[in-house]
């Protein structure tokens, strides 16, 4: 797994943009809202309450630095399979997309 793999997975989702910020991290957004952050060693992403417990207690993840209160999980590239990351990023994308206004979802083709 690499940053390029994360980019490929993220850009397969609808209406995704990427900016580089926070010390050179790739920050993936939908509708201007962050759903995943990728660094040199791993990726952080938004999860549900249940997903947070599962990934941090029984899975390969840990609380994402600076984002844990918002139910964000970080996983290292060595600890993740492509298929798992595809599902996790799709879920993160849908969780963030759901928070957009109906007008924004229509504008971005997400409704």
CATH number at residue 53: 3.90.1150.30
> Could you tell me where the DSSP H helices lie in 12-81?
49-53
- Residue 66 pLDDT more than 90? no
Percent of the chain with pLDDT over 70: 99
Asked if residues 55 and 47 have their Cβ atoms less than 8 Å apart, the reply is yes
Domain count along the chain:
1
Residue 110 lies in a domain: no
Give the residue-averaged pLDDT of 19-30: 95
Segment 38-56 mean pLDDT: 95
Residue 26 and residue 32 in contact, taking contact as beta carbons nearer than 8 Å: no
Question: Are the C-beta atoms of residues 37 and 28 closer than 8 Å to each other?
Answer: yes
CA 15 to chain CA mean position, Å: 14
Q: What is the pLDDT of residue 34?
A: 96
Stretch 87-93: mean pLDDT? 97
Average pLDDT, the chain: 94
pLDDT at 22: 86
Q: Is residue 45 part of a domain?
A: yes
Q: For residue 9, give both structure tokens.
A: 């997975």
pLDDT category, 61, cuts 50, 70, 90? Answer: very high
C-alpha to C-alpha distances, 86 to 16, 30, 72, nearest whole angstrom: 14, 16, 16
User: Which domain, by its residues, includes 15?
Assistant: 3-103
Q: Is residue 109 part of a domain?
A: no
Please give the pLDDT value at position 68: 62
- Please report the pLDDT score of residue 71 as a whole number: 92
Q: Which residues contact 34 (CB under 8 A, 6 or more apart)?
A: 27, 28, 46, 96
Would you say residue 35 lies in a domain? yes
Residue 98 lies in a domain: yes
The average pLDDT across 28-36 equals 96
Helix runs in 1-111, H state only? 3-11, 49-53, 82-97, 102-107
On the question of pLDDT at 111 being above 90, the answer is no
At residue 70, does pLDDT exceed 70?
yes
């Amino acid at each position: 797994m690499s940053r390029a793999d994360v980019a490929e997975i993220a850009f397969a989702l609808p209406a995704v943009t990427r900016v580089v910020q926070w010390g050179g991290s790739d920050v993936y957004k939908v509708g201007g809202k962050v759903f995943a952050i990728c660094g040199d060693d791993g990726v952080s992403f938004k999860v549900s309450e249940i997903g947070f417990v599962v990934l941090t207690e029984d899975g390969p993840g840990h609380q994402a630095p600076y984002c844990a209160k918002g139910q964000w999980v970080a996983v290292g590239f060595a600890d993740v399979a492509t298929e798992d990351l595809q599902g996790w990023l799709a879920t993160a994308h849908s969780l963030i997309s759901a928070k957009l206004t109906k007008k924004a979802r229509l504008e971005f083709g997400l409704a």
